[in-house]
Amino acid sequence: MTGFTPDLLNRCIACGFCLPACPTYALTKDETSSPRGRIDLMRALDEGILPADDPRVREEAAFCLGCRACETVCPAGVQYGDLLEEWRDQQWQGTGRPLVARLLMILVDARWRVRLLGLLRRHARTRGGPQGPSLMLGCFERALFPKVSRAARRLFPELAAPAAQGCCGALHAHNGDSARGRRMAEELGRRLPGTIVTTSGGCAAHLSSVLGRDRVKELSQYAYERDTPGGDPAETAGRPRIALQDSCHLRNGLDVWREPRAMLERVGTYVELPSAGTCCGAAGTYALVRPRDSRRVLDAKLDEIEAAGVDYVAVVNPGCYRQLDQGLRRRKSRVRAVHLAELLAGERPRRRAQ
Ligand code: SF4
Ligand code: SF4
């Protein structure tokens, strides 16, 4: 069994600054469901005071969204995301892992199965091996939202999009198999030499942690660096009002949040949601593994989106896309979720009739 890296675990000074930033603490007001409380549990586990099958330890390892909002406010530089990976590496071995996560990991573990996911979907595809920059198609995005990669290719025709690419391994890294997650990212890096552009903030963060930040660009970064034109920012008539849901790992892990806002301002009137930087409850497999908790986090977010009087809420991650799209549909809201790539490519889904 792997353990915790002592330097990571010992860094917390128990100041509690992270508590107000934590969505699960906001739900429960229970210290154990806060970053500081969870680090205490990790220490107890590490010192053998609590066993790995202690119900509280198991519950908190699963209840945490892994959103890393706690990292951004921590004065001691605690790398909570790394600690959580080490924690789940210990606890979620074999049958300890939630069944849904286990099945999804098996599904995306082999490249041919990932390819099969997108076989009948019209995601972007190019023939031949990539030479220059390439577009990462992702595993679930190619099946659930194939229009996103098509929009990205329309925006940036220079991106190669070979279908024969696998999953980046973020799913494994966040669900208790960080070693396999790392190997999958390395394999993808060999398959897509040069710059890898991704429409998923979560994948961007994982890939960057393995391949280095120079190799990986999330779409808004890539567009921003190229000064991609959108609409005329000075023209206000007919411009949609657009809010953004940040991708947690993109914002909290890579500090990328200015770029998507700057890009949205080119295609509409940007409206900042008070909780734009707070998790929407999708959190990778969380919405499937813990649907009730995920809905509790989502409901407050949807109230806010509807109160903001926006036409669209833009996303930069497929998990957030699915979460917000389903939530808004359930409510029969007129607001539509849309990926940033679609908006930049000039596609605006029609507002739903109420
Ligand atoms: S803010 Fe950082 S140092 Fe303070 S309690 Fe939270 S994790 Fe520990
Ligand atoms: S990762 Fe998110 S949910 Fe987990 S402890 Fe940190 S702030 Fe709370």
The answer to whether the beta carbons of residues 64 and 84 sit under 8 Å apart is yes
Nearest residue by C-alpha to atom 4 in ligand 1: 15
Q: Which residue has the tokens 């409901």?
A: 299
Range 101-130 average pLDDT: 84
236 pLDDT more than 70:
no
CA 13 to ligand 1 centroid distance, Å: 6
pLDDT for residue 127: 86
Q: What angle do CA 322, 310, 285 make, to 5 degrees?
A: 15
Q: Between 120 and 231, where is the model more confident?
A: 120
Contacts of residue 209, defined as CB under 8 A and 6 or more positions apart, other chains included, come to: 185, 253
Q: For a pocket test of ligand 2, which of 17, 70, 86, 252 has the largest count of ligand atoms closer than 8 A to its C-beta?
A: 70
Q: Helix, strand, or coil here: 240?
A: coil
Ligand 1 contact, 81 CB (< 6 A): no
Q: Radius of gyration over alpha carbons of the chain, in Å?
A: 20
117 pLDDT more than 90:
no
pLDDT for residue 270: 97
Instruction: Record the tokens describing residue 35, joined without a space.
Output: 């970053």
Contacts of residue 22, defined as CB under 8 A and 6 or more positions apart, other chains included, come to: 33, 34, 35, 69, 70
Q: How confident is the model at residue 1 (pLDDT cuts 50, 70, 90)?
A: very low
pLDDT for residue 284: 87
Q: Which residue has the tokens 């411009």?
A: 239
The residues facing 241 across adjacent strands are 269
**Mean pLDDT for all residues in the chain:** 92
pLDDT for residue 235: 61
Percent of the chain with pLDDT over 70: 95
Domains belonging to the chain, first-starting first, are 6-91 (1.10.1060.10), 99-225 (no CATH), 241-344 (3.40.50)
DSSP of 271-336, one letter per residue?
Answer: E--TTTTS--S-TTTHHHHSHHHHHHHHHHHHHHHHHTT-SEEEESSHHHHHHHHHHHHHTT-S-E
Q: Which ligand is nearest to the CA of 22?
A: 2
DSSP state of 226: T
| Residue 73 φ/ψ, nearest 5 degrees | -110, 0
Nearest Cα residue to 288 out of 152, 98, 136, 119 = 98
Query: What global pTM score does this model have?
Result: 0.92
CA 344 to ligand 2 centroid distance, Å: 31
* Ligand 2 pocket, Cβ-based, cut-off 6 angstroms: 21-24, 35, 38, 64-70, 80
Q: Which residue has the tokens 């053998």?
A: 48
Interatomic CA distance for residues 191 and 340, integer angstroms: 26
Range 254-281 average pLDDT: 96
4 pLDDT more than 90:
yes
Interatomic CA distance for residues 314 and 236, integer angstroms: 19
Q: Which residue has the tokens 């019209």?
A: 122
Q: How confident is the model at residue 46 (pLDDT cuts 50, 70, 90)?
A: very high
The answer to whether the beta carbons of residues 25 and 67 sit under 8 Å apart is no
Listed range (1-15, 53-67, 230-244, 311-325) with the worst mean pLDDT:
230-244
Contacts of residue 24, defined as CB under 8 A and 6 or more positions apart, other chains included, come to: 33, 34, 63, 64, 65, 293
The residues facing 312 across adjacent strands are 242, 336
| Atom nearest to 15 CA in ligand 1 | 4
Q: For a pocket test of ligand 2, which of 22, 36, 296 has the largest count of ligand atoms closer than 8 A to its C-beta?
A: 22
258 pLDDT more than 90:
yes
pLDDT for residue 237: 62
Q: For a pocket test of ligand 1, which of 18, 33, 71 has the largest count of ligand atoms closer than 8 A to its C-beta?
A: 18
pLDDT for residue 52: 85
pLDDT for residue 3: 87
Please give the distance of CA 64 from its chain centroid, rounded to a whole number.
14
CA 113 to ligand 2 centroid distance, Å: 32
pLDDT for residue 232: 55
84 pLDDT more than 50:
yes
Instruction: Record the tokens describing residue 309, joined without a space.
Output: 């009087």
Q: Which residue has the tokens 């947690």?
A: 248
DSSP state of 169: S
Interatomic CA distance for residues 151 and 311, integer angstroms: 20
DSSP state of 258: H
The per-residue pLDDT for range 154-206, each reduced to its tens digit, is 999 999 999 889 999 999 999 999 999 999 999 999 999 999 999 999 999 99
pLDDT for residue 122: 87
The answer to whether the beta carbons of residues 206 and 170 sit under 8 Å apart is yes
CA 253 to ligand 2 centroid distance, Å: 13
Interatomic CA distance for residues 19 and 69, integer angstroms: 10
The residues facing 245 across adjacent strands are 315
Interatomic CA distance for residues 270 and 272, integer angstroms: 7
